[in-house]
Structure 1
Amino acid sequence: MLRLTHPDQLPEPLRQRGTVVTIGTFDGLHRGHRALLGRVTALAAERDLASVALTFHPHPLEVLHPERCPEMIVSTGQRLDLLESVGLDVAVAQQFTVELAQQSPREFVEGTYVRDLGARAVVVGRDSRFGRGNVGTVDILRELGEELGFETVVLDDVGDEAVERWSSTAVRAALARGEVDEAARQLGRLHALRGTVVHGEHRGRELGFPTANLSADTEGLVPADGVYAGWLVRCDLPAGAADARLPAAVSVGTNPTFDGQRRTVEAHVLDRSDLDLYGEPVSIELVERLRGMERFDGVPALVEQMALDVQRAREALA
């Protein structure tokens, strides 16, 4: 997948060939997003066009209304990796600015979709809005498409009988409750945190449960404090390689038994004490919340609970 930082960087051969384009924040790339992107790639294949997703960073609300901006489920880097996983030809992660927000619907469509991206079809959700003040609607997009030479393809919301619709808002709410299994159901995959393994307090090793601590700049929305069953994925190893994906018990929180103040994410790889992961980029995929974070009356009680956590994690991952 070709990764660009502005629509005008699209290579001329692709622009001349023509594209099927969609636009969105795509935070988390949940199952609704995947359905829309699947329509983009399928339509592009049918018409021998290039498939393109246009997204923005930072989130538009962070620029226009920072007090209303939600926490992001994934980082921009994670989002691009997820976009690549659905089979797109091109992803454009454009910097969102006040100047861009001030473009009228016509200015945006003529400049971005037609001139820069050579759109032959634009795929959007039914509630899609664009242009200054979000005044651009699906009907306006369709009218502009008829005038400027592209088709507007509108998809209905996607969900199932158990939810009103797949949405990033619902995923954030599930993670805030620690319900990583519900988040995974909406995402269509396990929610993951990504970072570099750094040195921590080394208490886990002293207690017999060595942990891989993620750096403070961890990517991905950290769920509610607690202990989780999950998988530690070593990003530098090829998928399927030995020790590339390891079962783990994951702790999220401040270590209240030791009066900790800093919130950390650390993973204990089950049944392994021979690993040296310091400095490695890893991804932690969360499967199930085992319990909330607790303060214990002394180290022996904590160690006893950690042993139970490891057993429950082993059972959950089996």
Structure 2
Amino acid sequence: MHIWNSLEQVPQGFGPCVVALGNFDGLHLGHQQVLGQVKAEAVRRGALAVALTFNPHPALVHRPDSAPAQIMGLADKLAAMEKLGMDGVLVVPYTLEFAQQTPEEFVRNVFVNTLGTCAVVVGHDVRFGKGNAGDLGTMVALGTQLGFDVVPVDDEGHDRRWSSTWVREALAKGDVATAAQVLGRWHSMSGEVVHGAARGRALGFPTANLSPDACGTVPADGVYAGWLTDEHGHRWQAAISVGSNPTFVGVNRQVEAFVIGRPEEPVEAFDLYGQHVVVEFMRRLRGMVAYTGPEALIEQMHQDVDASLEIL
């Protein structure tokens, strides 16, 4: 899959392309439906399937103090797009200057002059151009004027419209099961395993601590059943803790996974420190609780492992 990080990187005369436009945060089922239609249209027309997205997310540029947390990082998003069959992804650097383009300027510069677009696949709520002035009707009119087709896609879910907002709402409540229904997969975070305070190891439950700059939305505090996949592709059952561990004083909020059934010997065969891992959240077991001491916490952790195994 081709990845271009600016309009200038796209080769001259590239195309024809069938293009989807969006932030694609989380790449939920609605996004997957749009990109699936892009692929189908591209095959039918003998064209290339291309996704057009932005980095950073426009909200981070226009309202950085209130922008929502991103459900997945850019690298994870690109990997998921490749699995969906995209031939290329154009990642446009989003700036306030870029945002000043009118809908027609944006479409002419990006879709026509850069990508040689023959068709655009969009949801009914598409907005683009300065002040989000362009909508589906605008796109259809510009397509007629500039020589490309517009293919609207219905991205409605069963209960409500699939959306990144729905995913964030579910994660904020720790409802990773609902988030998975909207995403079409388990919600995940990815990042480097770093050294922590080693409290888990002292209690008999050594954990893989994700770096504070790990990608992906952190779900509500609590304990979850899930999976950890290391950079070698090994996937392990895990009990995952999210929070500050109120049993101990002065602990920062963190995501840490206890790998169930980890090999004890040789230690070198299971050294996750420094590895880039993926942690998937399958089910929330309980909220975060302050216990009277280590003994009560250890007993609860054994129960959490047993509950995780039953679920997994």
With normalisation by structure 2, the TM-score equals 0.96
Partner of 1:241: none
1:254 to 232, 244, 256: 244
SS in 2 for 1:139: helix
Amino acid at match of 1:245: R
SS in 2 for 1:309: helix
Say if 1:210 and 1:273, in contact at 8 Å, map to a contact too: no
| 1:20 aligns to 2:10 (yes or no) | no
Partner of 2:32: 34
Say if 2:50 and 2:90, in contact at 8 Å, map to a contact too: yes
Q: Distance in 2 between matches of 1:307 and 1:137?
A: 54
* Structure 1 residue 273, shift from structure 2 partner: 4.6
SS in 2 for 1:38: helix
Partner of 2:126: 128
Partner of 1:3: 3
- 1:1-318 correspondence to structure 2 within 5 Å: 1-12=1-12, 15=14, 17-160=15-158, 163-235=159-231, 237-238=232-233, 244-274=234-264, 275-317=270-312
SS in 2 for 1:107: helix
Post-superposition Cα deviations, 1:73-131, rounded to whole Å, max 9, x if no partner, equal 11122211221121100011111111111101111111100000100001111111111
With normalisation by structure 1, the TM-score equals 0.94
Q: Distance in 2 between matches of 1:204 and 1:70?
A: 31
Amino acid at match of 1:71: A
Partner of 2:267: none
Q: Distance in 2 between matches of 1:311 and 1:261?
A: 25
Length, aligned pairs only: 307
Say if 2:33 and 2:155, in contact at 8 Å, map to a contact too: no
Amino acid at match of 2:12: E
Say if 2:227 and 2:237, in contact at 8 Å, map to a contact too: yes
**What runs of 5+ residues in structure 1 fail to find an aligned partner?**
239-243
Q: Which segment drifts farther, 281-290 or 149-158?
A: 149-158
SS in 2 for 1:169: helix
Say if 2:12 and 2:114, in contact at 8 Å, map to a contact too: no
Amino acid at match of 1:315: E
Q: Which segment drifts farther, 271-280 or 212-221?
A: 271-280
Q: Distance in 2 between matches of 1:8 and 1:155?
A: 29
Q: Distance in 2 between matches of 1:116 and 1:40?
A: 18
- In the TM superposition, structure 1's runs of 4+ consecutive aligned residues that sit over 3 Å from their partners are none
Percent identity over paired residues: 50
* Structure 1 residue 65, shift from structure 2 partner: 2.5
